[in-house]
Chain A
Amino acid sequence: MLKVNSINCGIVIDHITAGKGIKIFEKLKLSEVDFPVVLLMNVTSSKFGKKDIIKIENKIDLDLTMLGLIDPNITVNIIENDEIVNKMSIEIPKAVQGMFKCKNPRCISNFDEYVSPSFELAHVNGKIKYRCSYCEELTSYTI
């Protein structure tokens, strides 16, 4: 089995749904950094069967809203001196600003540069959708 060393100081993004790791890797622009990073795909997981993991040998600012939009199952571990000092479960964000566009072609947020599209979480027939703060139209996010 593939062996990857643990990190001494940095961030481990764990429990990523298999296949979504590369999307997070791209969104965090980890291919552009000059410190060690690892993307592990299809790792065996007792909980999910398979999962992806990202290890980052550095402290970087993580956009937890963006992570929650891509995959609310994620756990973020902050590592210092070989120990986990903070463990955060990511949730589906209740409010989102500027991450995606409103699907309504008549919405002002698609026309005026002063508007940053903002949304509130709405559950519709068990599906996760976001209600536009400007026009109230429901949008399914795609990141």
Chain B
Amino acid sequence: MNLKGKHLIDPNDFSLEELDQVFELADRMVDNRNAYGHVCEGRILGTLFYEPSTRTRLSFESAMLRLGGKVLGFADANTSSAAKGESIADTVRVLDAYADIIVMRHPKEGAPKLASEYSRIPVINGGDGGHQHPTQTLTDLLTIRRLKGRLEKLTVALCGDLKFGRTVHSLVSTLARYNSNRFVFISPSELRFPEHLKEALKEKHDIEVYETESLEEVINDVDILYMTRIQRERFFNEADYMRLKDSYILTRSKLADAKPDMLVMHPLPRVNEISYDVDQDKRAAYFKQAELGIYVRMALMALQLGVDVNVEGK
């Protein structure tokens, strides 16, 4: 079990044991971050962001800087060679001489997989269209693991844009690999969880899901409520976005009878789908989630680079 040199394109690229390895190192980093401040000295992260991102990009940059490494790359495809028409394969083959590990975000689904086929250094998928966002999933799993103490026997409700929400797709396909998890999908009919992914759940894990349009119907019965933003950038038609954008708004009053140890999670950024008054509720886990994202990315990159992480006591 060695993650050195391995790509992370889909969370299912890692076995459950490998995921545990990432989480265990992340836990150690949470407890003693400064001890890991030099483990990636001399290493460079290349950031290829063909689509705007604040949180994920800064989180990766911060993670590498906190490990003592350096960062180079672009945050806007218009200022990169992609604007001149360079293919992903060529960009990656050049960049792998400049950096030791790559994170790529791209609007086209499967683009990071293509990059991994041409790269000699590890490629991390930082989000590809509406497809996958594996490091958000690692963040989500680390959060659940730390706050619930387990990754199995959970009833997980996912609410909002389940059609284009890549964080949802990645999270569901990964949690499905752990024992006895159940899924509740809450969305307007236009933004339902994709049929082909539902088929994959059935085919690979024999999991049937419960679908509803009502948050109130199920909120009191779930262990985790994963809220998502209705994403304006995924709509071809502004009118459809305007009609659907306020479909679900979680307020503190709706949480009144929810389980006392339920977690409210959100990949952020939020718009209005979680009212600010929920922030004060002890079940609100989304800011903790964002914080843990740094540690999980630190652990991931350190393991993919194969640096010495046995630093405690040194």
Contacts and interface: CB of A to CB of B under 8 A. Distances in A.
A134 B110 contact: yes
A113 B106 contact: no
B87 A108 contact: no
Contacts of A138: 195-196, 199
A108 B110 contact: yes
A122 B114 contact: no
Given A106-B129, A112-B88, A122-B203, A131 B108 contact: no
A136 B200 contact: yes
B87 A114 contact: yes
A91 to B, nearest CB: 19
Looking at chain B, what size class is its interface with the partner chain?
A: 20 to 34
Contacts of B108: 106-108, 111-112
Contact of A131 (B87, B113, B130, B196): B196
Interface in A86-143: 104, 106-109, 111-115, 122-125, 131-138
B196 A108 contact: no
A39 B195 CA distance: 41
B107 interface: yes
Q: Main SS of the interface on chain B?
A: helix
B110 A124 contact: no
A136 B201 CA distance: 12
Contacts of B199: 122, 124-125, 138
Contacts of A113: 87
A64 B138 CA distance: 42
B118 interface: yes
Given A114-B114, A123-B203, A134-B114, A106 B107 contact: yes
B113 A134 contact: yes
Interface in B64-94: 87-89
Contacts of B111: 108, 112
Looking at chain A, what size class is its interface with the partner chain?
A: 20 to 34
Nearest to B234: A106
A132 B110 contact: yes
A132 to B, nearest CB: 7
A138 B118 CA distance: 25
A131 B200 CA distance: 10
Contact of A133 (B113, B128, B203): B113
A57 B313 CA distance: 78
B8 to A, nearest CB: 16
Contacts of A131: 196, 200
A113 B114 CA distance: 11
Given A112-B89, A113-B87, A135 B203 contact: no
A100 to B, nearest CB: 16
Contacts of B200: 122, 131, 136
A125 B196 CA distance: 11
Given A122-B199, A124-B199, A131-B196, A104 B109 contact: yes
A137 B197 CA distance: 8
Given A114-B87, A136-B131, A136-B196, A108 B203 contact: no
A108 B114 CA distance: 8
A114 B109 contact: no
Contacts of B196: 124, 131, 136-138
Contacts of A106: 107-109, 129-131
A133 B130 CA distance: 15
Nearest to A115: B114
Nearest to B130: A106
A115 B89 CA distance: 9
Contact of B87 (A112, A125, A135): A112
Nearest to B109: A135
Interface of A: 104, 106-109, 111-115, 122-125, 131-138
29 contacts: A106-B108, A106-B130, A106-B131, A107-B109, A108-B88, A108-B109, A108-B113, A108-B114, A111-B108, A112-B108, A113-B87, A114-B87, A114-B89, A114-B114, A114-B118, A122-B199, A122-B203, A124-B203, A133-B110, A134-B110, A134-B114, A135-B109, A135-B128, A136-B131, A136-B196, A136-B197, A136-B200, A137-B109, A138-B195
In order of increasing CB-CB distance, the 6 nearest A-B pairs are A134-B110, A135-B109, A108-B110, A108-B108, A138-B196, A114-B89
